Structures are given as C-alpha cells and as structure tokens.
Amino acid sequence: MRLLTFSAVLCALSVSLFSDEHDTPFTLADLPYPAEALEPVIDQKTMEIHHGRHHQAYVNNLNAAVEDHPSLAEMSLKDIQRHISQFDTAVRNNGGGHYNHTLFWTLMAPVGAGGSPSPALLAQIEEDFGSLEAMQQAFQQAGASQFGSGWAWLIWNGEQLQVTATANQDNPLMDVIPEDEQGYPLLANDVWEHAYYLSYQNQRGAYLEAWWQVVNWEVVNQRFAAITDATAASDED
Ligand code: MN
C-alpha cells in the first residue's frame, strides 16, 4: 500500500514536471490583470467570456488533439506554429488559438499603464511607416479589412516592421502563411466578433481605434528588443 502510494506520488511528480517542460497538457494561464482592468475600452463581461470560454475551448481542443498527434507533446507552443503544416485543421485552429490568445493578453494593460514605444522601436516604426500614426492607421486598416474572423499584426520580418492580417486563428509564425507575411509577432489584435461585440456591436473600426488605449507598449518594446538582438546575433554567425 505504501509502495503504491509512493509510486503514485512519483508518477504525479513526473507528470507535473513533464507539464512544466512541455506545456502539456496545455493549460490556460490566468489573465495578467483583473477582467475589468481594461474598461472602458474592453468590458469585463467580454474579457471573462473571451478568456474563460473561448480561450479555454482552444486549450481543451488542443489537448484533445494531442491524442491523435503525440508529437505535439514534445513541442513548444511556438514550434507547433512553425511546423503547423505537419498537422490537421484542428491543430491549426486550436494551436493557433492558444498561441494567439496567450500572446494577446500580455499585449494589453489598463488605460494609461502601457507606456509608449521605446526610442528604438519608434525609430524603426518611423523608418518603415513614416510615423507612429501611419503605422497605427495601417494596423487598423488591416484589422478592418480582414473579412470575417482573424487577427491584425505588427511583425518583425528579420529586416523591417510589417503590418499584416491573418484569417481565423492563423498567425505570422505559421509555415502555411505566405512567406512575405511571415515574421515574429510584436503586436496583435483579435478582430473576431467575440473580442468586441458586446460593447461595439458591428463597429469593428471603433474597437480598433479605441484599442490603442490599452496597448502594453512595454511588452511590445521588450519583444522588439529581444527579436532584433536575436537577429543581430544570428547575422554574426
Ligand atoms: Mn479571440
């Protein structure tokens, strides 16, 4: 009996270690702020449903897909995106949904708390778009003109910043995206109706414009610094 208990503990321990290392089974992290923290730009109810039901469903469905695709258990969430062509639509939709939303929550902060673009990021934005306002207009346009559901992105393509849009839960890391639209996501906005419909109804453009108030530039700055450092390092190789 004691032995059995001990082996059960060992088993639970190894499962728990495995989870930490491989993020499997995939889990839904708490929001990094209370659900009401982004009001009035994004209302509490929208955040609760979006995180607790929509994102949770992507996580549950991705975990279900691991049974058919055991190799997912050995891959990081980011690597799954980069090799998404090897998997079926369920993995593409739910693996993409989990990656996109996990990123999305970190890219927002309460109104007034998100800071502003770093000097390095601002200089790159001005070089590639002319001004911050021009980049924001391009980003809003990408989100507004994405037919149906999808995402708007600001990416680093290894040489410059670029604004793109993807359908459904696709993202710029995926190897099924056209090569000239692939890159490392710095900023992402969810333009599925579930992201804004309670407050904005069919006014996607109003949501896209208001959303800048809750962008967490500190996180965007860190992502830009990390990826351009990595790019510079690999250039030296
Ligand atoms: Mn969503």
Distance between CA atoms of 196 and 94, rounded to whole angstroms? Answer: 20
- C-alpha of residue 229 to centroid of ligand 1, in Å: 30
Q: Tell how far the Cα of 168 is from the centroid of ligand 1, in angstroms.
A: 9
At how many degrees (to 10) do helices 119-129 and 132-145 cross? 70
- Give, as residue ranges, everything with CB less than 5 Å from ion ligand 1: 190, 192
Beta strands in the chain (DSSP E): 150-156, 161-167, 184-190
**Tens of each residue's pLDDT in the chain, 237 residues:** 344 443 443 344 334 334 344 456 899 999 999 999 999 999 999 999 999 999 999 999 999 999 899 999 889 999 999 999 999 999 999 999 999 999 999 999 999 999 999 999 999 999 999 999 999 999 999 999 999 999 999 999 999 999 999 999 999 999 999 999 999 999 999 999 999 999 999 999 999 999 999 999 999 999 999 999 977 766 544
Give the pLDDT confidence score for residue 235 in this predicted structure.
55
pLDDT of residue 25: 85
Domains and CATH numbers, the chain: 40-237 (3.55.40.20)
Q: Which tens digits make up the pLDDT trace of 219-232?
A: 999 999 999 997 77
Q: How far is the CA of 136 from the centre of ligand 1 (A)?
A: 20
Lookup result for tokens 């639209």: 181
Strands 184-190 and 150-156, bridge-based pairing: antiparallel
Q: Measured in angstroms, how far is the CA atom of residue 47 from the centroid of ligand 1?
A: 10
Cα 123 to ligand 1 centre (Å): 31
> For position 135, what pLDDT does the model report?
98
Render pLDDT for 181-221 as a digit per residue (tens, 0 to 9). Answer: 999 999 999 999 999 999 999 999 999 999 999 999 999 99
State in Å: Cα 92 to ligand 1 middle: 15
Q: Rounded to two decimals, what is the model's pTM?
A: 0.88
Centroid of ligand 1 to alpha carbon of 48 (angstroms): 11
> Can you tell me the distance from the alpha carbon of 11 to that of 120, in angstroms, rounded to the nearest whole number?
48
Angle at 50 between CA 80 and CA 78, to 5 degrees: 15
Cα 194 to ligand 1 centroid, rounded to whole Å: 6
Q: What is the pLDDT of residue 236?
A: 47
Q: Please, what is the end-to-end C-alpha distance for the chain in angstroms?
A: 57
34/48 Cα distance (integer angstroms): 9
